[in-house]
Every structure is written in C-alpha cells, then in structure tokens.
Structure 1
Amino acid sequence: MKDSPAQEASRAFVETFIETYLLVRNNFYRQTQVPIPVNQFVVLMALINDPSASISEISRTLNISKQQMTTIIDKLVKSGLAQRHPDINDRRRTVITITDAGMAILDQQKETVHLMFHERISRLSPEEIGQLAQATYTYNRLVRKMFL
C-alpha cells in the first residue's frame, strides 16, 4: 500500500529531524569537552529547569532509572555540585538542588560553547546568521509545541 502525501511528508520530516540532531551532535557537541561525566552534566542541566526536583522526578525527566539516578546524585553530592534537602512541604520527599560549584561548571561550559559557536558562526554572512537564527527559533518553538 502506498503512503499518502501526508505520510510521505512525515517520513521525510523524521529523516530531516534526525539529520539535524546528528549534525549538531557530531559537528558541535562532540567537539566540546564536558568537565564532568555527561550523565552528571545532564542532571545539573535538568536541575536548572526544575530547581527543586526529587530524584524520581529527575529520573522521569531524563528517562534514567531511579537506581542509576541515585548513583549519579550521590556522585554530584559527594563532589559538591548538588545537595539533598528535605522538602519543607512533604517530609517524605527529598529535593535535589544545584550548588554554586555546580552552577560554576554550567556557566563555564556555557562560555565554552558560546566561544565555539561564535567561532563557527563567523563563517556565515550576516544574512545567513539571520536566516539560521530565525530557523532555529522557529524549530525550537515547534518542537516544544510537539512535546507539550
């Protein structure tokens, strides 16, 4: 049975979506060294988006088992990058927060990425930079809408 035009467009979009992910990952983020293990770095990033999350909530957000998440959090706490606190509204719940040292790592990484991005974007004309910026804003807005 032949795909409908909508199904064909959807398949083409999925291929382009994956290609975009791989382009950014392989040509940008793979060249960026992260100062801590990637799984710990991702948890710190998640804590920026939800500064009072529990281990279970972070685990669900990142699709990592609770057992693995507990180990990651233990390592972050031991290295002084995160802290555990009792939830003031629910004594059974423990929240995980990022420390100043954890924020410093994220800030440092953001600066590294910014410098690398600035170097790469300098290869584009001002018109191309504007096109890329607009396309990126539109892409991000629509991807967020897909997953809300």
Structure 2
Amino acid sequence: MNNLSTPNVSQKFIETLILIHNNFYRQTKLPIPLNQFGALMVIFTEESVSITDISHILNISKQQMTTVIDKLVCNGMVQKAPDPHDRRRSVITLTPAGQKILDDQNERVRQLFNQHIQQLNEDETAQLSDSILTFNQLLEKMFIN
C-alpha cells in the first residue's frame, strides 16, 4: 500500500484529532462538567434539537440527558420551548449565557494557539495557515451530498 491509502490517511486524521485534543482542549479547564459542555456544543451546531436528538448524538441515555439539560436550564445556559410542529417535543436552544460559555472556551483555545504559534517562524506560520485552510476545505468537500 502506498502512503496515500485510505487507512493511512484516516490514521493520520485520528492522530491530528488527538494532537488537537491533547495540546489545546485538554490544556484548558472547562467551566462546566464535560457532559454539559458537550450538550451545549450539540445545541450550538444543530438548528433545532430535542433532548432525544442530543442524547443520540452524544450517545448518552435520554434519562441522563434530561438531567443534564435540566441543570443547564437551571443555570440559565439553555431554554426549552414547545416545538411548534410537534407538541410532544421540546426544542432546546442556547441562551446568551450558554453562548458565552462556548465563546469563552473558544477564546481560551485561541489564546493558547496564539501563544504556541509564536514558536514558528513566518514561513512556518504561513504554511500552517495554508494547511489548515486546505484541510478545512477538503473536510467540507467530503461531506457535500
């Protein structure tokens, strides 16, 4: 198999995810429990989401997710509203406080990135920037239906 085989590329992708997690996300302390933060991320990325949807995406039981969402509601980070298309379902949305948690975490990661990018010279920084842009464009292309 050559160096560009699918298993090789997918292994490099996993290695990239681990590097990002270990060097950025693990280095910043989350202000809320991980399961609550994960729920906030799902709510942020999905347009209209129910507790059942979140539990499926995060692979957490609906009962556990209900507890997580109730805590987020009590802390003012999300709100529940009846789904206008299905009375049996509630739609979960971020509040400004929930969005601030995500924005603050992203800012901590950006600051850590900016701190460490100083170790690269100008050419390396440009190369990294181009590589990230290409990486993002190719990932988006992979998921165009």
Task: Provide Cα deviations, 1:44-102, integer angstroms capped at 9, x if missing partner.
Answer: 12212224311122223333332222221111112211111101222121000111111
Matches within 5 A, 1:1-148: 5=1, 9-147=5-143
For the residues of structure 2 that align with 1:21 and 1:11, how far apart are their CA atoms?
15
For the residues of structure 1 that align with 2:140 and 2:35, how far apart are their CA atoms?
23
Q: CA RMSD in A?
A: 2.1
Q: Equivalent pairs: percent with the same residue?
A: 50
Shift >4 Å, 4+ stretches: none
SS in structure 1 at match of 2:125: helix
Structure 1 stretches of 5 or more lacking a match? Answer: none
For the residues of structure 2 that align with 1:55 and 1:39, how far apart are their CA atoms?
13
Greater relative contact order (CA < 8 Å, ≥ 6 in sequence): 2
TM-score for the superposition, normalised by structure 1: 0.84
TM-score for the superposition, normalised by structure 2: 0.86
Query: How many residues matched?
Result: 144
